[in-house]
Amino acid sequence: MRSFVQLLFWMAVVGSVTSSIYCGMVVVAAARFWLRKRREQSAPADFLPAVSMLKPLHGTEDGLEQNLASFFEQEYPGEWELLFCARQESDAGLQLAREVGTRYPGVAARFVTCGEPTPQFHNAKVFSLAKMDSVAKNDLYVTSDADVRVRKDYLLRMVQTLKDPKMGLASCVYLGTAHPGAGFASQLDAVGKSVEMSSGVLVADMLEGTKFALGATMAVRKKSFQDVGGFADLGQFYADDFVIGNRLAAQGTGVRMATYVIRLMVQNSPFWLSFRNQLRWMQSTRRSRPWGHLGSGLTFAMPFGLLGLAWGLVTGHALLGFLWLAAMVANRWLQALAILGALGDPDLLYNSLIYPLRDLLGSVLWLRSYGGENFYYRGKIYKLKHGGRVEDRA
């Protein structure tokens, strides 16, 4: 029993120390990002290349109409076109995009289909991108997912990141945003996307520069896709965004994290579905960055606060145990306030308040990510292989 109590204590101590160090790094990284964002927002936006915006679609979902409209409403002085691609002409998302497009006759929008992905394309999104690449008029792309919602200066600001000809790709962090009326599970998912994801991204950028990309949106040169092996190779990976950014960085091509912040809209989902969707990304990260993912287990605070509480209760130091847990809650509040403040979250206080619960859920997802290689996505079961490659489960 004594050995167990000692183990409990030292596990709580080590995790509390590492998560506190990490929190301090997040605060510094968030301040660094905020200062850079202010500086870049005040810089002249005078780089106006011809741009093709590429948006893959598959079906429809709540809020999609508003998401799509935000791309038609771009205020960009240069030449630009907007491409949508779905598997079939009858796709509900593509039909909605056509309908929205009728309200903006001045926007050069095109709607194409790609058919069902061929066997080497386990990533259907990349298959759609390959089709749009074949018909796009311009050599500079801005890609985005269907659940992204942006402001009117989005295109103008994103292309500024490629003003340097040595820069091959730029992506950006995002504010997870639950739809109005969404349940608590979706709110936790949204704040996790804002805080947990952005914390890791900004700390990594601070320590070693950006050697990856976030695929929610990217400003990327056509040549960059070719330089990393082309769409057919990228289509074998679930985390194609990580692969293209990592390969470009390894080649010495510039990859950066823009300071523009988009919104990533989170659907209203029951807890089990929200958990499964978040687990899918955890599993992908484990395969793409195995050692980094392993180390991320020490960045969570709440599980170690609970271990500290358990130690206090077992040893008769209940007050110390509760203070230990309270310190870890404060740790997560500080992390959330720093990140959400830097990103400009209008719901800063509420999202910071609930973040300790998301941190605890995140630790459960992290543990569960080591439980297997299969994941569910859009009605099919896939298998994640070494390095993040994905294949249909036989």
User: Among residues 73, 54, 242, 37, which one has the least CA distance to residue 157?
Assistant: 37
Judge if pTM exceeds 0.85.
yes
Question: What residues does 54 pair with on adjacent strands?
Answer: 83, 143
Joined tokens for residue 332: 């997560």
Each residue's pLDDT, cut to its tens digit, for the chain (394 residues) gives 778 889 999 999 999 999 999 999 999 999 999 999 999 999 999 999 999 999 999 999 999 999 999 999 999 999 999 999 999 999 999 999 999 999 999 999 999 999 998 877 878 899 999 999 999 999 999 999 999 999 999 999 999 999 999 999 999 999 999 988 899 999 999 999 999 999 999 999 999 999 999 999 999 999 999 999 999 899 888 889 999 999 999 999 999 999 999 999 999 988 888 888 888 878 878 877 888 888 999 999 999 999 999 999 999 999 999 999 999 999 999 999 999 999 999 999 999 999 999 999 999 999 988 886 665 555 556 565 665 565 655 4
The conformation of residue 195, written as its DSSP 8-state character, comes to I
pLDDT at 24: 98
Q: Is 165 exposed, middle or buried (0-12, 13-18, 19+ CB in 10 A)?
A: exposed
> Cβ distance 219 to 161 under 8 Å?
yes
Q: 189: closest CA among 354, 340, 63, 299?
A: 354
| CA atoms of 168 and 392, how far apart (whole Å) | 31
Q: What is the pLDDT of residue 291?
A: 81
The CA-atom distances, in angstroms, between 31 and each of 37, 144, 345, 355, 391 are 10, 27, 15, 19, 40
CATH topology of domain 46-269: Spore Coat Polysaccharide Biosynthesis Protein SpsA; Chain A (3.90.550)
Cα distance between residue 279 and residue 349, in whole Å: 26
Q: How much is the pLDDT for 394?
A: 46
